[in-house]
Chain A
Amino acid sequence: MYDFRYHRPATISEAVDLFRQCDDGQYLAGGQTLIPVMKQRLASPSDLIDLARIDELKDISATESAITIGGMTTHAAIAASSEVRSRLAALADLASGIGDPHVRNRGTLGGSIANNDPTADYPAAIVALGATIITDRRRIEGDAFFTNIFETALEEGELIRAVEFPIPERAAYAKFPNPASRYAIAGVMVSKFADIVRVAVTGAGPFVFRVPDMEAALARDFSPEAIEKLQIPAGDLNADLHASPAYRAHLVSILAKRAVQAAKE
C-alpha cells in the first residue's frame, strides 16, 4: 500500500468539499474492493475520504411505493432489515447471498454500485427494479447508471446518497455463484410491476443488461414456460476460468426461469 491522507467527514457536504480539495481523492465506503486493490498497489489515491461516520447515509426508509436505502448501508443490514425483508424480499435475499459474512458486514450498497464490478449482484436489482440512484446533486435512473465495465454515470466527486427501490408486485433474484469468489457467474433479477416486467442480468456480460425478449414474453405470460425457449446470444458475454460465454448464456436462461418461478411462489 502506498501512503495516502485519511479523512473522516461527518456530513455529505463535508465529504464532497474534501473530494474537491484533494489531488486524487477517493471515497472509501466498505472497502471490500478498494482496500485489497490498494494493498496490491494497483490503486494509489492521494486521499481516502471515509464515509463510515456519515450517519445520513445509513438510513432505510419506506413509503407506500418505495424503499429508500442509504448508500452506506451494509449488505448485512439490508439482508436483516425487516422493512426490506417484508416488502422487497428479493433484495434482502440478494444481499444475504453476497460474498461471505465478512464482506456482508463491511461492504455497502453504494460502494458496490459505484464500483460496478461486472459480477456484482446489486446492479441486477437496480436495473430490474427500476431503482433511482440519489446522489449529492441529482437523481439518476437505474437504467442509465451503469455505463460500462467498472464505469457508471457518476461524475467526478459525485457521491451516492441513497437508492430508491420501487416496490414491485413480484420479484426474485437467482444467482449462480463463482465457487472461488462467490460473485455471480451469472445472476438474474426478474420483477413484475403493474405496467412492466423487467429482467436484468449481472455477471454474464461486461456490465448489467436487460433482456427485452424475455421481458416481452413475461409481460404476456409471467411464467417460466413463457421463456422456456429464449436463449441470449453468447457472443459478447464474459469468458474466464470458471465459465465460458456459451455456459453463461445457458445459465442466464435457467436462472431467469428459476427467478420467475421463485417470484410466483
Chain B
Amino acid sequence: MTTVEIGQALKRSEDFRLLTGKGKYVDDISLDGEARAVILRSPHAHARIVEIDRAAAAALDGVHLIVTGQDWLAEGFGPIPTRSAVNKNKDGSPLSEPPRHCLAIDRVRYVGEAVALIVADSEKIARDALELIDVTYEELPAVTDPRKALADGAPRIWDDIPNNLCVDFELGDEAATKAAFEAADHVISLDVENNRVTGVPIEPRGLVGTYDAETDTYLLYNSTQNVHAIRKTIAEDIFKISADKIHHIAPDVGGGFGAKNSVYPEPALVLYAAKQLQRPVKWIAERSESFLADTHGRNQSSKVQLALDSDGTFRALRTDTVGDIGAYCWTIGPFTPTGGSARTQGGPYAFETMYYSSRAVFTNTMPMDPYRGAGRPEGTYQIERIVEAAASQLGLDPVALRRKNLIPAEKLPMKSPMGLDIDSGNFPEVFERTLALSDRDGYSERVAASKAAGRARGFAIAPYLECTGGGPKEFAGIQFAADGTITLSVGSQGTGTGHETAMPQILSAKLGLPVEKIRYRQGDTDATPLGGGHGGSRCLEVGGGAVVRATEAVIDKAKAIAAHLLNSQADDISFADGQFSDAKTNQSTPMEEVVRASFETGRLPQDMEPGCLDSDAIFERGIISCPNGCHAAEVEVDPETGAVAVANYWIVDDFGTIINPLLADGQVMGGVAQGIGQALYEDAVYDEDTGQLLAGSLMDYALPRADLIPNMVIRYYEDAPTAKNPLGVKGAGEAGCCPAPPVIVNAILNALKPYGVTDLSMPVTSEKVWQAIHDAKP
C-alpha cells in the first residue's frame, strides 16, 4: 500500500499510457458504420455568398449529406451566444453581438469560416465532394488590423455595427489617475504590442457523434476542455433541447491552451449529421484547419503610460488598449482585452491609482478566445515593458526601480486599484530570492565570455502577479467499492496536465488510502453532475478544493464507523495519518479497515448502510486567487545576424501550497516555453490586403523547439498559502507565460543597450534585431 503526501514529487500515473501510444484520443475512437464529415471553409476574408452549387457533389457515390448555412437556418437552430463577462459598454448599453451560426449565412467574414458540412462514407469521398461544391463569392473589402477597423470609413464586417466596435470598457479611477499624472515628476509612454498567437495543441480538434433514436439522445466524443458548458450551449442554445439529451465525453485530450474551451460549430454539425443519417459521424481537423479555425489569442495594441516621481516612486498607471476579437464574439472573446486584461494591471507594484480603458474590435480574422493566461500575460507584458522603458529613459537601475515599487508584504491583504483582492504573498522576498538565484556575482564574467564569442549578453528580471479564472464552482465525488478500489470523479479536467496524478494524490494524502487503488474520472457529463472543465488555472484551486471537501465528508462518516469499531464515542475520535484514534482508550483503527467495515452490515452502526462512505462535495470559491512570482533571464544576441538565444532562466513562483512539485515544474516549464514562443517566434499574421493567414502551417508558424528552450532553475515560495481555498493553492497553469515574454524582450534590450536599441516588438525575430541594430547606428 502506498499513501502519499501533499507536496510529494509523485510521478505521473498517466505517463506510461500516454508516452507509449496507449492514450485514447478522439481519433482512436471508431464506431461501426461511421461516416466522415469535412467542412468546406471560406477562401476569402470577406465575401458575399452568391450561390452554392452542390449538385455535382451530391451526385457523388457515397455522399450522404451536404448542409449549407441556409439549410441550417431552415432547421430553426439558434446562434451560439457569447458568454463574455464584460457585456456592457461604458455607457451601460449592451455590447454588439452579431449572430454566430454554425455555418456562414450568406456572407463569409474570415478565411476558414465554415461554409458547408459534407458527410460521406469516407474522408476521401467527403473531400472529393468538397472540391465539387461550387461556391460563387462576391468579394468585399476586408480589414484585418483592429486599429484600422476602428477608423471611420473602414470596411464594415457587420452592417449594423459602426466602426466594428464590439464593446468599449473601462476600469479604475480616470479622474484620480489624471490628477496623479499631472502631479507626477515624469510621465513615460510606450506603445506595447501583444502579437497574435495560436495554441497549436499537438492533438487537433476532433469529434465522434452518435444519435440514438430510441431514447432521442446524443453521445459526443470531443477533444475539448469543457464538457458541461459546451454541452449546455449546444443543447439549449443551438438545438433548443434539454442538456441531458447529450452525453458529452472528452477522452484523452492532447493539449488545449484555451483553444479547446470554445464552443465551435463542428460539434453541433456532427451531432446533426449523426441524427440525420442515423449513423455515427466523425470529424478530425487537419493541422492546416487547426491554424485557420482554432481560436487565436492576444493581439492587443496598447498605449501604456506610467507616472512616477523623480525618486522613482510609481504614482499612477494608465493603459488604453485596442483588442482584436476577430469576426465574431465567439465564446468569451470580448472579455480578454477588456476585463481579462484589466484585473491584474500594474502587477505586484504599488500604485495610488490606475485607469484601464479598452475597445474590443471586430476584424476579418479567425475569432479570438482565451489563450493561456487570457489577458494577464498581456497585462504583465505592458507593465514590465513600461517599467523597463522608465528605467532606461530616466537612467535608473531597472532592478532597483522594481525593488523600490513592489507592494510591501505588510500591506497585504489589500485590494488593488483594479479591485483585485491580493490576500497573500511576499513580493519583495520572492524578488530577492530570484535575484539571489540568478548568480548576479558571476554575471560580468558571463558577459565577458559572451563578448569574446562575439555575442552581446543581457539580463532582465520580471516580477509578476496574475489571477485565476474560469468557473468558480466544482464538484468531486468519491465512491468506494467492496474490492477496495476507490473512484474519484472531478468536474475539472486535465488535457495532459497531470490531473490523474494530482487529484488522487490529494485524496490519498487526506484519507491515508493507497493511491494505486484510486481510479480517476473526468471529462464526462455522466461522471459529475456539474463541472467547470479546464481553464483559468482553476483545477487545483476549485477541483482540488472539492476533493478536499469530499474527503472531509468521508472522514465525518468514517468517524462514526470507527467509533463503533472501537467502542468509542464519535466525538472522541480523531483522524490523522490515515488512523482513527481514541486518545481516551488509546485504541486506533486505520481508514482502510473502516472502509472494509463500511461494506459489512454487522460492523456498521445501526443507522448506517453498506456503501455509506460514498461522498460528494461541491466547492465554490468566493474570490479568485493570485499566483505570483518572479522570473529572471539572460539572453545572448549575435549582433551580426540578430539571432537570440536564451542562455539562463531562473524562477521563484508563489503558487501557495505545492501539491506535487513535478507537476508544478511541468506547468511552469510549459508556460515559460509558450512565453518564449510568443516573445521570439510565434506570429499568427494575416496578409493585410488579402486577409489570408500567412503563418498557416508549421513550416511558417514557428513554435519553440526543445533545443531552443533553456534549462530552468525553478524554486517555490510556499510561505504564503492562500486562505481562499482548502488546499491553499493559487493556480500554476498560466503563470509561466505571464513573465516570460517581458523578461526575454527586456533582456534582449538590455543586451542591445550599447547599440542604442530601445524598443523591439514581439516576436523579436533575428531580422528585427538586425534591423534595429542597423537603424540605431549613428
User: Does B associate with A?
Assistant: yes
* A residues in contact (CB < 8 Å) with B: 1, 3, 40-41, 176, 178-181, 183, 240-244, 247, 250-251, 254
Chain A residue numbers with a CB within 8 Å of B771 are 247
Contact assessment for A181 and B288 in the assembled complex, using a CB-CB cutoff below 8 Å: no
Contact assessment for A241 and B685 in the assembled complex, using a CB-CB cutoff below 8 Å: yes
Contact assessment for B702 and A247 in the assembled complex, using a CB-CB cutoff below 8 Å: no
Chain B residue numbers with a CB within 8 Å of A183 are 699
Closest residue on chain B to residue A240 by CB atoms: B700
Closest residue on chain A to residue B698 by CB atoms: A180
Contact assessment for A247 and B700 in the assembled complex, using a CB-CB cutoff below 8 Å: no
Contact assessment for B288 and A180 in the assembled complex, using a CB-CB cutoff below 8 Å: no
Please measure, in the bound complex, the distance between the C-alpha atom of A204 and the C-alpha atom of B629, giving whole angstroms: 44
Closest residue on chain B to residue A257 by CB atoms: B640
B66-102 at interface with A (beta carbon < 8 Å): none
Please measure, in the bound complex, the distance between the C-alpha atom of A262 and the C-alpha atom of B18, giving whole angstroms: 43
**Residue B137 CB within 8 A of the other chain:** no
| A181 in contact with B699 given A241-B685, A254-B641 (CB within 8 Å) | yes
Q: How far is the CB of A5 from chain B (nearest CB, A)?
A: 16
B682-719 at interface with A (beta carbon < 8 Å): 683, 685, 694-695, 698-703, 708
User: Which of A1, A41, A176, A179 contacts B681, CB < 8 Å?
Assistant: A179
**Residue B173 CB within 8 A of the other chain:** no
Please measure, in the bound complex, the distance between the C-alpha atom of A250 and the C-alpha atom of B771, giving whole angstroms: 11
Contact assessment for A242 and B643 in the assembled complex, using a CB-CB cutoff below 8 Å: no
Contact assessment for A180 and B767 in the assembled complex, using a CB-CB cutoff below 8 Å: no
* B residues in contact (CB < 8 Å) with A: 124, 127, 131, 288, 640-641, 643, 680-681, 683, 685, 694-695, 698-703, 708, 765-767, 770-771
Q: How far is the CB of A250 from chain B (nearest CB, A)?
A: 7
Chain A residue numbers with a CB within 8 Å of B695 are 180, 241
Chain A residue numbers with a CB within 8 Å of B131 are 41
Closest residue on chain B to residue A41 by CB atoms: B127
Please measure, in the bound complex, the distance between the C-alpha atom of A1 and the C-alpha atom of B127, giving whole angstroms: 9
Contact assessment for A247 and B770 in the assembled complex, using a CB-CB cutoff below 8 Å: yes
| A180 in contact with B701 given A244-B767, A247-B770, A251-B641 (CB within 8 Å) | yes
Please measure, in the bound complex, the distance between the C-alpha atom of A181 and the C-alpha atom of B681, giving whole angstroms: 12
Q: How far is the CB of B466 from chain A (nearest CB, A)?
A: 28
User: Which of A241, A242, A250 contacts B770, CB < 8 Å?
Assistant: A250
- Give me 12 other A-B pairs in contact (C-beta within 8 A), A183-B699, A242-B765 excluded: A41-B131, A176-B641, A179-B702, A180-B699, A180-B700, A181-B700, A242-B700, A242-B702, A247-B770, A247-B771, A250-B770, A254-B641
Contact assessment for A40 and B767 in the assembled complex, using a CB-CB cutoff below 8 Å: no
Contact assessment for B127 and A247 in the assembled complex, using a CB-CB cutoff below 8 Å: no
| A180 in contact with B703 given A41-B127, A250-B770, A254-B641 (CB within 8 Å) | yes
Interface of A (DSSP majority class): loop
Interface core residue of A178, A179, A250 (most chain B CB under 10 Å): A179
Interface core residue of B124, B641, B683, B695 (most chain A CB under 10 Å): B641
Q: How far is the CB of A86 from chain B (nearest CB, A)?
A: 26
User: Which of A1, A3, A180, A250 contacts B702, CB < 8 Å?
Assistant: A180
Contact assessment for A254 and B640 in the assembled complex, using a CB-CB cutoff below 8 Å: yes
Contact assessment for A176 and B698 in the assembled complex, using a CB-CB cutoff below 8 Å: no
Chain B residue numbers with a CB within 8 Å of A242 are 700, 702, 765, 767
Please measure, in the bound complex, the distance between the C-alpha atom of A201 and the C-alpha atom of B14, giving whole angstroms: 48
Please measure, in the bound complex, the distance between the C-alpha atom of A254 and the C-alpha atom of B639, giving whole angstroms: 11
Please measure, in the bound complex, the distance between the C-alpha atom of A178 and the C-alpha atom of B700, giving whole angstroms: 9
Please measure, in the bound complex, the distance between the C-alpha atom of A250 and the C-alpha atom of B702, giving whole angstroms: 22
Q: How far is the CB of B707 from chain A (nearest CB, A)?
A: 10
Chain A residue numbers with a CB within 8 Å of B124 are 1, 3
Please measure, in the bound complex, the distance between the C-alpha atom of A254 and the C-alpha atom of B766, giving whole angstroms: 13
Closest residue on chain B to residue A186 by CB atoms: B641
User: Which of B127, B640, B700, B703 contacts A241, CB < 8 Å?
Assistant: B700
Please measure, in the bound complex, the distance between the C-alpha atom of A244 and the C-alpha atom of B701, giving whole angstroms: 17
Q: How far is the CB of A258 from chain B (nearest CB, A)?
A: 9
Chain B residue numbers with a CB within 8 Å of A1 are 124
Contact assessment for A247 and B699 in the assembled complex, using a CB-CB cutoff below 8 Å: no
Chain B residue numbers with a CB within 8 Å of A251 are 641
Q: How far is the CB of B161 from chain A (nearest CB, A)?
A: 31
Please measure, in the bound complex, the distance between the C-alpha atom of A243 and the C-alpha atom of B702, giving whole angstroms: 13
Contact assessment for A40 and B681 in the assembled complex, using a CB-CB cutoff below 8 Å: no
Closest residue on chain B to residue A176 by CB atoms: B641
Please measure, in the bound complex, the distance between the C-alpha atom of A1 and the C-alpha atom of B124, giving whole angstroms: 7
Closest residue on chain A to residue B699 by CB atoms: A181
Chain B residue numbers with a CB within 8 Å of A179 are 680-681, 702, 708, 765
Complex A-B, nearest 3 residue pairs according to Cβ-Cβ distance, in ascending order: A180-B702, A179-B702, A181-B699
Contact assessment for A243 and B699 in the assembled complex, using a CB-CB cutoff below 8 Å: no
Q: How far is the CB of B203 from chain A (nearest CB, A)?
A: 18
Chain A residue numbers with a CB within 8 Å of B643 are 176
Closest residue on chain A to residue B770 by CB atoms: A247
| A241 in contact with B699 given A1-B124, A247-B770 (CB within 8 Å) | no
Interface core residue of A1, A180, A183 (most chain B CB under 10 Å): A180
User: Could you list some 6 contacts between A and B, CB below 8 A?
Assistant: A3-B124, A180-B681, A180-B703, A181-B698, A250-B770, A254-B640
Please measure, in the bound complex, the distance between the C-alpha atom of A260 and the C-alpha atom of B124, giving whole angstroms: 51
Closest residue on chain B to residue A183 by CB atoms: B699
Closest residue on chain A to residue B638 by CB atoms: A254
Q: How far is the CB of B60 from chain A (nearest CB, A)?
A: 14
Please measure, in the bound complex, the distance between the C-alpha atom of A179 and the C-alpha atom of B698, giving whole angstroms: 10
Contact assessment for A247 and B640 in the assembled complex, using a CB-CB cutoff below 8 Å: no
Closest residue on chain A to residue B768 by CB atoms: A247
Please measure, in the bound complex, the distance between the C-alpha atom of A254 and the C-alpha atom of B701, giving whole angstroms: 25
Chain B residue numbers with a CB within 8 Å of A244 are 767
Chain A residue numbers with a CB within 8 Å of B640 are 254
Chain B residue numbers with a CB within 8 Å of A250 are 770
Closest residue on chain B to residue A255 by CB atoms: B641
Please measure, in the bound complex, the distance between the C-alpha atom of A178 and the C-alpha atom of B701, giving whole angstroms: 10
Interface core residue of B694, B695, B701, B702 (most chain A CB under 10 Å): B702
Q: How far is the CB of B656 from chain A (nearest CB, A)?
A: 36
Chain B residue numbers with a CB within 8 Å of A3 are 124
Please measure, in the bound complex, the distance between the C-alpha atom of A183 and the C-alpha atom of B643, giving whole angstroms: 16
Please measure, in the bound complex, the distance between the C-alpha atom of A242 and the C-alpha atom of B703, giving whole angstroms: 13
Please measure, in the bound complex, the distance between the C-alpha atom of A176 and the C-alpha atom of B685, giving whole angstroms: 22
Chain A residue numbers with a CB within 8 Å of B685 are 241
Q: How far is the CB of B5 from chain A (nearest CB, A)?
A: 39
Please measure, in the bound complex, the distance between the C-alpha atom of A178 and the C-alpha atom of B124, giving whole angstroms: 33
Chain B residue numbers with a CB within 8 Å of A180 are 681, 695, 698-703
Please measure, in the bound complex, the distance between the C-alpha atom of A254 and the C-alpha atom of B454, giving whole angstroms: 13
Closest residue on chain B to residue A39 by CB atoms: B286
Contact assessment for B694 and A241 in the assembled complex, using a CB-CB cutoff below 8 Å: yes
Please measure, in the bound complex, the distance between the C-alpha atom of A3 and the C-alpha atom of B125, giving whole angstroms: 11
Please measure, in the bound complex, the distance between the C-alpha atom of A183 and the C-alpha atom of B699, giving whole angstroms: 9
Chain A residue numbers with a CB within 8 Å of B681 are 179-180
Please measure, in the bound complex, the distance between the C-alpha atom of A244 and the C-alpha atom of B766, giving whole angstroms: 11
Please measure, in the bound complex, the distance between the C-alpha atom of A179 and the C-alpha atom of B288, giving whole angstroms: 18
Q: How far is the CB of B691 from chain A (nearest CB, A)?
A: 16
Please measure, in the bound complex, the distance between the C-alpha atom of A40 and the C-alpha atom of B640, giving whole angstroms: 38
Contact assessment for B698 and A247 in the assembled complex, using a CB-CB cutoff below 8 Å: no
Please measure, in the bound complex, the distance between the C-alpha atom of A251 and the C-alpha atom of B680, giving whole angstroms: 19
Q: How far is the CB of B195 from chain A (nearest CB, A)?
A: 13
Q: How far is the CB of B762 from chain A (nearest CB, A)?
A: 14
Chain A residue numbers with a CB within 8 Å of B698 are 180-181
Q: How far is the CB of A119 from chain B (nearest CB, A)?
A: 10
Chain A residue numbers with a CB within 8 Å of B699 are 180-181, 183
Please measure, in the bound complex, the distance between the C-alpha atom of A244 and the C-alpha atom of B643, giving whole angstroms: 15
Closest residue on chain A to residue B774 by CB atoms: A250
Closest residue on chain B to residue A258 by CB atoms: B640
Please measure, in the bound complex, the distance between the C-alpha atom of A243 and the C-alpha atom of B766, giving whole angstroms: 9
Chain A residue numbers with a CB within 8 Å of B708 are 179
Please measure, in the bound complex, the distance between the C-alpha atom of A181 and the C-alpha atom of B680, giving whole angstroms: 15
Chain A residue numbers with a CB within 8 Å of B694 are 241
Please measure, in the bound complex, the distance between the C-alpha atom of A254 and the C-alpha atom of B770, giving whole angstroms: 12
Contact assessment for A247 and B767 in the assembled complex, using a CB-CB cutoff below 8 Å: yes
Q: How far is the CB of B61 from chain A (nearest CB, A)?
A: 14
Closest residue on chain B to residue A182 by CB atoms: B705
Chain A residue numbers with a CB within 8 Å of B701 are 180
Q: How far is the CB of A101 from chain B (nearest CB, A)?
A: 11
Please measure, in the bound complex, the distance between the C-alpha atom of A243 and the C-alpha atom of B642, giving whole angstroms: 12
Please measure, in the bound complex, the distance between the C-alpha atom of A241 and the C-alpha atom of B683, giving whole angstroms: 10
